[in-house]
Amino acid sequence: MMEFDSIFDTGRRKTVNSKITARLADTNSRISPWLSSLTYLLAGNILLPFYFSQITIVGQENLPKSGPVILAPTHKARWDSLLLPYATGRGVTGRDLRFMVTSTECRGFQGWFVRRLGGFPVNSQRPSITTLRHTVELLKRGEMLVIYPEGGIFRDSEVHPLKPGIGRLALSAESSHPGLGVKIVPICFNYSHPYPDWGTDVSISIAPAIKVSDYAQGCVKHDAKKLTDDLAHALQQLNYQYDDLASSAFMQIES
């Protein structure tokens, strides 16, 4: 019986280790140099300029050229994930982006494509420890990471309540590696139509980076709330600025 139990325990350990390895493989992603270069070249020079009537980008000087960065944009349309590299990626900062995407977007051929453009899956309802560790590891390596803090696509002109995870994640990375220097960059998208079609105008506003280390005061829950609140305020300010510009342009047309 003891011999049987020993064999069973060994088999169970192998099964558990296999599952852990599978989860790690499922979480990890890599950027394909040729595929990402080709995709962003075609998107930036042909697709986006052809599809959109006008692309306005404000605040690119606020993008850090090095160090761990979390880009925190509002999410208005699926076009956001193509426009972000165009506005902040290799051609602007010399950096590739890593995207945290929903697990459903990493299935099948789409998943193969997304992973090779830097995407990796997360269960938005119950993020796994493996995913969180992978995210912290990306920041530790000084990568530029994209997290949509609202947690979904909202096609109206409002900034919706932010999920608390982005603040906790950033603080976790900073506290576990003191001096890492994680920064969060608020970004606001605005389209002239809720469902962007051909000829739509799009505006991308980028605010100065928020230094995560300024919020690491020792109480993670309180620190994360303060960080999330300030991020939400920065996004709202960007949104108000766009509304003011849009109103001014409309008044000029009317007059």
CA–CA separation, 33 and 141 (whole Å): 18
How close are the terminal C-alpha atoms of the chain, in Å?
92
67 to 49, 73, 130, 166, 212: CA distances (angstroms): 30, 19, 23, 17, 12
The pLDDT of residue 129: 84
Give a yes or no: residue 102 inside a domain. yes
Q: Which residues pair with 194 in a beta bridge?
A: none
Give a yes or no: residue 71 inside a domain. yes
Q: Give the burial string for 58-73 (b: 16+ CB within 10 Å, else e).
A: bbeebbeeeebbbbbb
The answer to whether residues 164 and 241 touch, using CB atoms and an 8 Å cutoff, is no
Output the average pLDDT for the chain.
Answer: 84
Is the pLDDT confidence value at 16 over 90? no
Give a yes or no: residue 45 inside a domain. yes
Is the pLDDT confidence value at 143 over 90? yes
The total domain count for the chain is: 1
Is the pLDDT confidence value at 192 over 70? yes
Give a yes or no: residue 246 inside a domain. yes
Report the pLDDT averaged over residues 8-14: 42
Report the pLDDT averaged over residues 121-131: 78
Give a yes or no: residue 18 inside a domain. no
Residue with tokens 């930036």: 44
Give a yes or no: residue 6 inside a domain. no
The answer to whether residues 3 and 109 touch, using CB atoms and an 8 Å cutoff, is no
Report the pLDDT averaged over residues 28-38: 82
pLDDT in tens, 40-87: 999 999 999 999 999 999 999 999 999 999 999 999 999 999 999 999
Tokens of 8: 């069973």
Confidence of residue 243 (pLDDT cuts 50, 70, 90): low
Residue with tokens 């530029």: 144
Give a yes or no: residue 5 inside a domain. no
Is the pLDDT confidence value at 181 over 70? yes
Is the pLDDT confidence value at 29 over 70? no
The pLDDT of residue 245: 57
pTM listed for this prediction: 0.84
Is the pLDDT confidence value at 132 over 90? no
Closest CA to 203 of 57, 53, 44: 57
The pLDDT of residue 3: 36
| Minimum mean pLDDT range among 95-109, 172-186, 224-238 | 95-109
Report the pLDDT averaged over residues 186-215: 97
Structural domain including 69 reads 30-254
The answer to whether residues 206 and 88 touch, using CB atoms and an 8 Å cutoff, is yes
- Helix axes of 165-176 and 129-140: crossing angle, nearest 10 degrees: 60
Confidence of residue 121 (pLDDT cuts 50, 70, 90): confident
Report the pLDDT averaged over residues 182-197: 97
Give a yes or no: residue 177 inside a domain. yes
Report the pLDDT averaged over residues 199-226: 95
The answer to whether residues 89 and 166 touch, using CB atoms and an 8 Å cutoff, is no
pLDDT in tens, 89-99: 999 999 999 99
Domain of 65, CATH number, reads 3.40.1130.10
Confidence of residue 146 (pLDDT cuts 50, 70, 90): very high
